[in-house]
């Protein structure tokens, strides 16, 4: 027996995971897979504007509110929101087209900073609704709805038409998942970037990719992000090498949208979508640049996965949408 | 539209195929979980103890799910990838890990000293042996230990361990060598090169 075998055998066979741990881990995974109500470097989902702006949402605040405001603005610049209230014009935002990703991100940061915001209470829930579309593959369209409690202790999703609530029994995961964790992140762009690089380092992946994905994830999860954090994310993103502006505009639900992002691992262009007028975060898009897996049509060159946030709101109970 | 997905059902899915399909059918990722959860949990459990293992194993699959689109589907076996994610999470608990080895080392020592020799001798030896190895593990450099344990406990090849940790194969080999020098010393053996076993795995 060599030393490696000795080392192996000396510890004996590890005890099987407890049924509870197993069930909980599987449920957590399925919850994420079916609702994507969690965080994730998922190509589809993120925050966006509610089509019908929710009064409550606006009243309660949240960056969801910011989005709501942004969205309404687009359709109604300088006019009133759906509730008939006058809308503020975003001050400090130049109106001309942006020349590059850094410029777009800076405007997004300024826009984020100027949004009104009221933090959710720990016992409130952040609801997000996203529409995901695929340009190829067996599944073309999905809507996901998820609720995350602000303190991160629970989340909820719709499964088979029924609301299911999951309890996170242990401490928060290592990546920012809930409002409480996110609101504790640095709001200085440099400090935030350093933090992100510390967190990154996924095995075998370039750090910049990880950092970009991490920011993407936070934006996606942040149905309610503190404005200073959101601004810091945009400004930190400017400093990630390889972040480029996509030429022209993307039409998202018929509205002009800017896309900027990073080509990850040489084949997947992961983009953040920003409203062309308000610079509010509108979602995410992934474009497959080269055939990656000959056996999987979802990875065919040209495949586009689009995730648009339809709604984001702070609510008192899971299951509530406004 | 005829999709290759329908065709691939004729053969058992490779990990890569499952992961590739889970991009569009996220629920499919559950199959990856079902294949490897117990193994990942066991590995983490050895390194960090059971209670942390519950958390870390769960988080490993959540992270893997989130990164599934970036999985290199040219690699049919997902284990190096999953163990890599787990290793990264484990590295956030270095102190807990080392504390555990030290505790084992002490326990081994106690057993060896006051051990009831009458008790099952083999067991006693095993505990003492484990204590010595645990002391070595506590002393090994973090990066070296990652490679060593991926090879000895997760049963990856040295090449796969390199892949898992995102380091060059040569680096993994030298780390493994350094770590094995320690464990051998703990076992009272010689340098791994000296007996011709150094090249295995």
Per domain, the residue ranges of chain A are 19-315
Contacts across the A-B interface (CB distance below 8 Å): 197
Are the Cβ atoms of B58 and A30 closer than 8 angstroms?
no
- Enumerate the residues of chain B whose CB falls inside 8 A of the CB of residue A7: 133, 148, 152-153, 183
- CA dist., res. A157 & res. A145, Å (int): 6
What φ, ψ does residue A318 adopt, rounded to 5°?
-65, 145
Which is more confidently placed, B19 or A296? B19
Asked if residue A249 has pLDDT above 70, the reply is yes
Q: Do the chains contact at A268 and B70, CB–CB below 8 Å?
A: yes
The shortest CB-CB distance from A29 to any of B20, B53, B62 is to B62
- Among A104-108, A118-122, A171-175, B129-133, the range scoring the smallest mean pLDDT is A171-175
> Is B5 in contact with B14 (CB distance < 8 Å)?
no
Q: What percent of chain A has pLDDT over 90?
A: 24
Q: What is the pLDDT of residues A257-309, one digit of tens each?
A: 999 999 877 778 889 999 998 999 998 888 888 876 544 555 678 888 888 88
Q: Which one has a higher pLDDT value, B201 or A290? A: A290
Across all residues in chain B, what is the average pLDDT? 79
Higher pLDDT, A238 or B126: A238
Q: Any CB–CB contact under 8 A between B36 and chain A?
A: no
**Can you tell me the distance from the alpha carbon of A130 to that of A252, in angstroms, rounded to the nearest whole number?**
13
Question: Which token pair is A33?
Answer: 């897979």
Residue-level pLDDT at A13: 77
% of chain B with per-residue pLDDT over 70: 77
User: So what's the pLDDT on residue A284?
Assistant: 87
Looking at residue A317, the DSSP 8-state letter turns out to be S
Residue A39 CB neighbours (<10 A): 27
Distances (CA, A) of B108 to A175, A280, B38, B173: 37, 60, 27, 29
- In angstroms, what separates the C-alpha of B98 from chain A's closest C-alpha? 15
Picking from A176, A174, A175, A177, the residue whose alpha carbon sits closest to that of residue A166 is A177
> Tokens 């984020």 — which residue?
A112
Residue A136 dihedral angles phi and psi, to the nearest 5°: -150, 165
> Inter-chain contact A29–B84, Cβ cutoff 8 Å?
no
Chain-chain contact of A32 with B62 (C-beta, under 8 angstroms): yes
Whether B25 and chain A come into contact, CB under 8 Å, resolves to yes
- pLDDT band for A1, please (50, 70, 90 cuts): low
Interface residue B180 vs chain A (CB under 8 A): yes
Taking alpha carbons only, the member of A202, A309, A48 closest to residue B72 is A202
Would you call B94 an interface residue with chain A, using a CB distance cutoff of 8 Å? no
Pairing of strands A162-167, A154-159: antiparallel
Residue A43 at interface with chain B, using a CB cutoff of 8 Å: yes
Which tokens sit at B104? 């084992």
Least Cα separation, residue B62 to chain A (angstroms): 6
Angle between helix axes A63-75 and A101-113 (nearest 10 degrees) is: 110
What's the rounded Cα separation, in Å, for the pair A291 and A271? 18
Distance from CA of A42 to the nearest CA of B (A): 6
Q: pLDDT digit string (tens) for A7-19? A: 888 887 777 888 8
Q: Of residues A94 and A243, which shows the higher confidence score? A: A243
Percent of chain B surpassing pLDDT 90: 47
DSSP, res A86: B
Per DSSP, A297 falls in state G
Nearest to B67 by CA among B22, B28, B3, B33: B22
For residue B155, what pLDDT band results from cuts at 50, 70 and 90? very high
Chain B residues with CB under 8 Å of A26 CB are: 30, 33-34, 37
Contact B111, A10 (CB under 8 A): no
The answer, for A18 touching chain B at a CB cutoff of 8 Å, is: yes
Contacts 24+ apart (CB under 8 A), A288-295: A289/A263, A290/A266, A292/A267, A292/A268, A292/B73, A293/B16, A293/B20, A293/B73, A293/B74, A295/B4, A295/B8, A295/B17, A295/B20, A295/B73
pLDDT band at A206 (very low <50, low <70, confident <90, very high): low
**Is pLDDT of A190 > 90?**
yes
Give the C-alpha separation, B48 to B63, whole Å: 19
Contact A41, B64 (CB under 8 A): no
The angle subtended at Cα A109 by Cα A253 and Cα A265, nearest 5°, is 70
The structure's pTM equals: 0.54
User: How high is the pLDDT of residue A287?
Assistant: 85
Of B129, B155, B163, the CB nearest to A10: B129
Give B 43-62 residues with CB within 8 A of chain A.
43, 45-46, 50, 53-55, 57-59, 61-62
Asked if residue A137 lies in contact with residue B28, where contact means CB atoms within 8 angstroms, the answer is no
**What is the Cα–Cα distance from B24 to B43, expressed in whole angstroms?**
30
Q: Is B111 touching A (CB cutoff 8 A)?
A: no
In chain B, the residue whose alpha carbon lies closest to the alpha carbon of A201 is B88
pLDDT at B103 over 60: yes
* Short-list B49, B186, B85, B25, CA closest to A173: B85
Candidate from A7-16, A208-217, B135-144, B181-190 with smallest mean pLDDT: B181-190
Helices (H), B91-168: 94-114, 121-139, 142-152, 158-165
A121 touches chain B (CB under 8 A): no
Residue of A nearest to B136 (CA): A7
Task: With beta carbons under 8 A apart, name residues in chain B contacting A29.
Answer: 29-30, 33, 58, 61-62, 65
Q: How far apart are CA A116 and CA A134, in angstroms?
A: 34
Which has the minimum average pLDDT: A17-31, A144-158, B55-69, B166-180?
A144-158
Q: Kindly indicate the confidence band of residue A77, based on its pLDDT and cuts at 50, 70 and 90.
A: very low
């Amino acid at each position: 027996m060599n030393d490696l075998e000795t080392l192996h055998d000396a510890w004996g066979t590890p005890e099987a995971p407890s049924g509870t741990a197993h069930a909980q881990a599987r449920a957590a995974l399925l919850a994420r897979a079916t609702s994507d109500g969690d965080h994730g470097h998922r190509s589809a989902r993120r925050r966006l504007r509610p089509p019908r702006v929710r009064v409550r949402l606006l009243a309660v605040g949240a960056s969801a509110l910011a989005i709501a405001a942004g969205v309404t603005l687009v359709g109604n610049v300088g006019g009133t929101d759906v509730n008939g209230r006058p809308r503020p014009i975003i001050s400090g935002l130049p109106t001309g087209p942006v020349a590059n990703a850094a410029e777009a991100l800076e405007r997004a940061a300024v826009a984020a900073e100027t949004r009104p915001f009221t933090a959710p209470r720990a016992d409130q829930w952040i609801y997000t609704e996203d529409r995901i579309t695929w340009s190829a593959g067996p599944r073309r369209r999905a809507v996901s709805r998820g609720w995350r409690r602000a303190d991160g202790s629970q989340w909820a999703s719709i499964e088979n038409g029924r609301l299911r609530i999951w309890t996170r029994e242990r401490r928060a995961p290592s990546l920012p998942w809930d409002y409480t964790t996110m609101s504790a992140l640095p709001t200085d762009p440099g400090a935030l970037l350093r933090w992100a690089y510390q967190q990154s380092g996924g095995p075998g992946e370039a750090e910049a990719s990880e950092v970009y994905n991490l920011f993407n994830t936070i934006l996606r999860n942040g149905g309610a992000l503190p404005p200073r954090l959101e601004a810091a994310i945009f400004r930190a993103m400017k400093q990630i090498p390889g972040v480029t502006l996509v030429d022209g505009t993307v039409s998202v639900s018929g509205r002009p949208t800017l896309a900027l992002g990073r080509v990850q691992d040489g084949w997947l262009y992961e983009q953040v979508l920003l409203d062309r007028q308000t610079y509010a975060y509108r979602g995410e898009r992934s474009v497959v640049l080269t055939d990656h897996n000959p056996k999987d049509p979802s990875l065919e060159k040209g495949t586009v996965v689009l995730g648009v946030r339809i709604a984001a709101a702070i609510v008192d109970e899971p299951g509530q949408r406004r | 539209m005829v999709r290759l997905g329908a065709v691939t059902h004729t053969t058992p899915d490779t990990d890569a195929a499952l992961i590739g399909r889970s991009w569009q059918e996220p629920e499919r990722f559950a199959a990856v979980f079902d294949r490897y959860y117990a193994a990942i949990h066991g590995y983490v459990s050895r390194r960090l103890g059971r209670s942390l293992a519950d958390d870390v194993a769960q988080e490993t699959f959540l992270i893997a799910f989130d990164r599934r689109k970036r999985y290199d589907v040219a690699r049919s076996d997902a284990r190096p990838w999953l163990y890599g994610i787990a290793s990264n999470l484990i590295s956030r608990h270095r102190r807990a890990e080392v504390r555990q080895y030290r505790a084992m080392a002490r326990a081994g020592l106690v057993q060896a000293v006051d051990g009831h020799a009458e008790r099952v001798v083999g067991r006693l030896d095993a505990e003492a042996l484990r204590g010595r190895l645990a002391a070595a593990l506590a002393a090994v450099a973090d990066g070296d230990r990652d490679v060593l344990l991926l090879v000895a406990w997760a049963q990856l090849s040295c090449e796969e361990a390199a892949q898992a940790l995102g380091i060059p194969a040569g680096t993994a080999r030298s780390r493994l060598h350094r770590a094995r020098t320690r464990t051998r010393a703990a076992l009272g053996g010689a340098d791994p090169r000296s007996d011709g076993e150094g090249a295995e795995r």
